[in-house]
Structure 1
Amino acid sequence: MKTFKATMTTAMLALALAACDEAPSPAPKAAKPKPAAAAPVKEAPAETAVQAAPAVAYTYNPVGKRDPFRSPIEDLGPVNTNTVSACNEPLCAFDLDQLKLVAVVTGDASPMAMVEDPAGRGHIVRRNTRMGRQGGKVTQILRDSVTVTEVFSGNGEIIKNPVMLQLKPDAKKDPAYNMMTGRNFGE
């Protein structure tokens, strides 16, 4: 390591000394003003100067291009306001990440689930129930999750965003689970 440091120090010193050999470049001299011509200038040279200009001048055409100074978030447009205004249910006052899936009842033709809001109140949801600030709709209820599909509209296209609310497992369950027997170790 000491050899490496010594080699690098020597190399840097050699480069610094090599750069000092050059003499400083002289300052550029100011251009001397030409004496004013007493004779009138002919217009013919001016015409040749105009002819020497480039034949093709570039012009920017912004048609069909997006504005580079505009935020891309504004390009998405407003969120589907019809859905939000049509949602009069109490679950529409909360974001989906604030809601907690507490229980699920399946095995029936119409499965149900219970969702808890941040205040601790429980709400029963079924398929096609609206919930969330974006006016999402419950599309699927499984034994351990509920799928809520939010619909956004941006640039004339419809974007569907499925969000899954997972049922939290019981804290009593032992993490050492035997896959072969289907029981926890120690039972």
Structure 2
Amino acid sequence: MMMVVALAIVRAISAQPASGQPTSPLSVSSPPSLPTPEGQVPTGNILGASQPPMPGEYSYNPSGRRDPFAIVLRDPKMGEENLSLPPLQQLSLTELNLIGIVWGGFGYSAMVQAPDGKGYTVRQGTRVGPNGGAVSSITENAIVVQERFTDVYGNKQVREYVKLLHAKEGAE
């Protein structure tokens, strides 16, 4: 008799009431999903799927406005690699080494060496560097290269670079 009572209690606990609510908090089940026809993707709440905005929600429209993350001061030459430039204009001034200066009836002339070991002869007015620099003067021990540029305030500026000819080691 005791066995029958225990069996009745177990059945009563596992049975659900007519309201459909489980009697135990651990026995919650999800509603059955409907089968989808073959070849179709279920249209439920999928991550990454775009949904139209809910009524009353704000939707940002950027048309007619400038990009707040755009670079304000953009160099028109920035990002352009013009491979049709001569080798001296493709190299920066810091990459060139002054290895010799020659003078004669024609004036001064200088020899610069590129990182790949090639040598180039420069005279006054020779274009050097990617920023439109030109050799402005050549002296007995240096060359001066001037670059014209526009600063952040829109003013035209001139920057001068001086490349010195180093004396041989051991010479006084």
TM-score, with structure 2 as normaliser = 0.51
Superposed displacement of residue 111, structure 1: 1.4
> 1:111 maps to which residue?
108
Larger Cα-atom Rg: 2
Alignment of 1:76-115 (within 5 A): 77-78=74-75, 88-115=85-112
**Cα distance in 1, alignment partners of residues 85 and 99 from structure 2:** 22
Corresponding position: 1:162 with 2:155: no
Superposed displacement of residue 74, structure 1: 4.9
SS of the equivalent of 1:106 reads strand
**Cα distance in 2, alignment partners of residues 74 and 166 from structure 1:** 37
Quick one: which of 143, 147, 150 aligns to 1:146?
143
Higher RCO (CA 8 Å, separation ≥ 6 residues): 1
Superposed displacement of residue 165, structure 1: 0.6
Name which of structure 1's ranges 136-145 and 87-96 shifts more when overlaid on structure 2: 87-96
**Cα distance in 2, alignment partners of residues 136 and 114 from structure 1:** 17
C-alpha RMSD of the superposition = 2.8
> Which consecutive segments of 4 or more residues in structure 1 shift more than 4 A?
none
SS of the equivalent of 2:107 reads coil
SS of the equivalent of 1:113 reads strand
Quick one: which of 172, 175, 187 aligns to 2:170?
172
Give unmatched runs, 5+ long, in structure 2: 1-67
Q: How many residues matched?
A: 101
Give unmatched runs, 5+ long, in structure 1: 1-68, 175-187
Percent of counterpart pairs with the same letter?
Answer: 28
SS of the equivalent of 2:94 reads helix
